[in-house]
Structure 1
């Protein structure tokens, strides 16, 4: 989305004059700022185009050599993003036009996958197109403005220059300049060229800004698509919360409640027997004691499934080792979270690991799993890898789809790389802490 600078900010650069007043238009700061912007187009466009094409050339050339072209492409894409930021700053400072940026795709721990993400990203593609077009478009706009100013000024001062030179046989493009009438006509033509320059500058600036808005600004429909996806994921989260509520209700009814009912009945039998046989209630008390312990164990398991107390008290560093220890598959765990994330993000991270390890134990047929949880640059990265049979697909399983919904609920991202035959790599990116 592109916006104009507020009127108070535009006032610093001078009010835009009416096209019907060519003298004021020529003297207006807006005209000369626009002309300066267009004259810079050739130099900045050539430098930008050269850097981009050089990066693309070396990316392709080095790709067969142990994929050395991949880091070159990643660097080229990020340099292109920086050049785009410089261009937007130039539009803002010289023209008073603010162009909101299209964010780069979030970084990925796998360089090959991230290179593919950048290649497919419409924002990167449009920014690359702008930087390729920058050289020819800049040459065109700069050439027109420079030609009008230079040729118009030359013709306007030509009579004075001829008189000062004292050369009656002077010629310009084969036209003799000895006649005062000819010199007057040429000076009038120069004046006309200078007076039409502001209108031409305005038209070229409008063209330049339209191209920049289309290629340097946000991708059309990207925000609407993101909002639509968030609305759909929110609806799925609401459905999953309702399903979770029904599961908890069922577990309490079929498990804990039955234990407590059985305990109450056992205690009632013990109470009745105590009246007639006080010494014969030992076995009933032992049975009641065991039933109470079973109910406590089940309640603890249910509470742990909802939100383990150790997670609230001590964070992921303390909660995940217990989770890994309960997994039937051996787990290599690495947790490096120096700053605790927000409670909601921390809970989602815990359940991502819990669900991922459950899937590994139930479906992967793996001999070993690796879990890495690190916090870097306000981002919580979770990677779960197993050496199982692979073939996991979020589109076919409700477990992974539910995880994706949970993650998207806090504006995170989940990706699964699971070729048939393995290994399976689940990567989750979460906002680590509030900004």
Structure 2
């Protein structure tokens, strides 16, 4: 019973009620604004003014949709992913003007803020006012009905509820109905959140296109990194090895001791080249990850780290190969940053499988201040997470600690 009555005193109930009431105000504003702009832009399309007005309207719809996402998060506790819009084909004025019309997500946002939200907002407002007004009216009826001259409500039969024996049953009915109000509010708030999520989340086609583009960018970046590592590392050592062996061959008859020293140097260069190639192969895709899974690969990674690492891996089953690789590189990059930039003295790695999600968290006690900059390592991690439809969050205030958290789908 206490669980049934508890929503009456919970903050969530009144936040959701306020959101449902606010829907009508916001919906009226959006309907008026977008109807005016679309009608004006469409009627002026035969002139040079119509297209810029419609373009501005679509950009305004994107801003309005962002505001609706913020409102859904603040009042309904619903996070709706902000989309990545399709960019113009070029920087020409024409392509900039028509770019919003080629984006499916923008069309969904226009339909939502112009048509769906106003209609749904009207329904939400009527429901919120009605479900609260009826029981509150019934409970407060004795205040004015019994003692107020002519204030008692009149029934369809013409009689008035102006005596205690007539009012008390109404009050009891109001008290019985009142605990149901928060549950009705929650139901309509959940429906409101579901409609907003369906209309405001990125289009699946756009998501797949963005994911494909990020995957290509990551692959090209990895390829350039491998090329640089080979050129600056193993290739230089192999060139040095070839030169040492060439000089040893020239001195083989005339100066055997010098030739023996050069062969020894070449052997050392060979060992270092093999070690660099082994490290490079591990960076591309460690064999232990394929053979023994994520737990063993992270254990090996923690053992090689120059920062002491506390590792906690709890997996119910082995995730897909792409998710395993993404999780490995997220942890590897976070530990590298902790050692190289954060001057950390300790780090912790937690990997847990929660339902159909793999939750990863890497924390260090370094100096903090890490930022996600375009082209940087953290931006690359976010791109890797997005390429498997996951998400990455970074918290790194000045002075630390730094926490890198990721959620990757396992299904």
Instruction: Please indicate the TM-score interval, normalised by the length of the shorter structure.
Output: 0.5 to 0.7
Helix, strand or coil for the counterpart of 1:382?
A: strand
Q: C-alpha distance in 2, partners of 1:117/1:295?
A: 59
Deviations 1:237-283 (A, max 9, x none): 42332222122112212321221122122222223333445565321
Match of 2:312 in 1: 334
Q: C-alpha distance in 2, partners of 1:281/1:327?
A: 39
Match of 1:55 in 2: 7
Residue 265 and residue 118 in structure 1: after superposition, are their counterparts in 2 closer, same or farther (change >3 A)? Answer: farther
1:369 is displaced (CA, Å) by 1.1
- Alignment of 1:412 with 2:390, yes or no, is yes
Match of 1:244 in 2: 222
Match of 2:195 in 1: 217
Residue 303 and residue 415 in structure 1: after superposition, are their counterparts in 2 closer, same or farther (change >3 A)? Answer: same
Match of 1:393 in 2: 371
Q: C-alpha distance in 1, partners of 2:315/2:376?
A: 29
Please list, as runs of the form range in 1=range in 2, the aligned pairs for 1:260-275 lying within 5 A after superposition: 260-275=238-253
TM-score (norm 2): 0.55
Query: Are the equivalent residues in 2 in contact too, given 1:372–1:382 (CA < 8 A)?
Result: yes
Q: C-alpha distance in 1, partners of 2:355/2:122?
A: 30
- Alignment of 1:121 with 2:83, yes or no, is no
Q: C-alpha distance in 1, partners of 2:236/2:80?
A: 57
Match of 1:363 in 2: 341
Q: When the two structures are aligned, how many residues end up with a matched partner?
A: 264
Deviations 1:367-425 (A, max 9, x none): 21111112222321111111223233325672111111100111111112223332222
Helix, strand or coil for the counterpart of 1:361?
A: helix
Match of 2:231 in 1: 253
Residue 173 and residue 303 in structure 1: after superposition, are their counterparts in 2 closer, same or farther (change >3 A)? Answer: closer
Please list, as runs of the form range in 1=range in 2, the aligned pairs for 1:26-425 lying within 5 A after superposition: 54-55=6-7, 57-59=9-11, 119=77, 121=79, 134=127, 216-217=194-195, 219=197, 221-224=199-202, 227-228=205-206, 231-277=209-255, 281-395=259-373, 398-425=376-403
Query: Are the equivalent residues in 1 in contact too, given 2:218–2:384 (CA < 8 A)?
Result: no
Residue 261 and residue 393 in structure 1: after superposition, are their counterparts in 2 closer, same or farther (change >3 A)? Answer: closer
1:136 is displaced (CA, Å) by 5.7
Q: C-alpha distance in 2, partners of 1:286/1:416?
A: 49
Q: C-alpha distance in 2, partners of 1:402/1:234?
A: 15
Q: C-alpha distance in 1, partners of 2:381/2:122?
A: 36
Deviations 1:18-68 (A, max 9, x none): xxxxxxxxxxxxxxxxxxxxxxxxxxxxxxxx96x952732469xxxxxxx
- Note the residue ranges of structure 2 that are not aligned, 5 or more in a row: 16-72, 82-116, 134-155, 159-187
Helix, strand or coil for the counterpart of 2:362?
A: strand
Q: C-alpha distance in 1, partners of 2:284/2:334?
A: 16
Residue 211 and residue 269 in structure 1: after superposition, are their counterparts in 2 closer, same or farther (change >3 A)? Answer: closer
Cα root mean square deviation, aligned = 4.0
Query: Are the equivalent residues in 2 in contact too, given 1:416–1:427 (CA < 8 A)?
Result: yes
Deviations 1:146-168 (A, max 9, x none): xxxxxxxxxxxxxxxxxxxxxxx
- Note the residue ranges of structure 1 that are not aligned, 5 or more in a row: 1-49, 62-72, 74-114, 141-171, 175-209
Query: Are the equivalent residues in 1 in contact too, given 2:78–2:193 (CA < 8 A)?
Result: no
Query: Are the equivalent residues in 2 in contact too, given 1:130–1:216 (CA < 8 A)?
Result: no
Helix, strand or coil for the counterpart of 2:349?
A: strand
1:344 is displaced (CA, Å) by 0.7
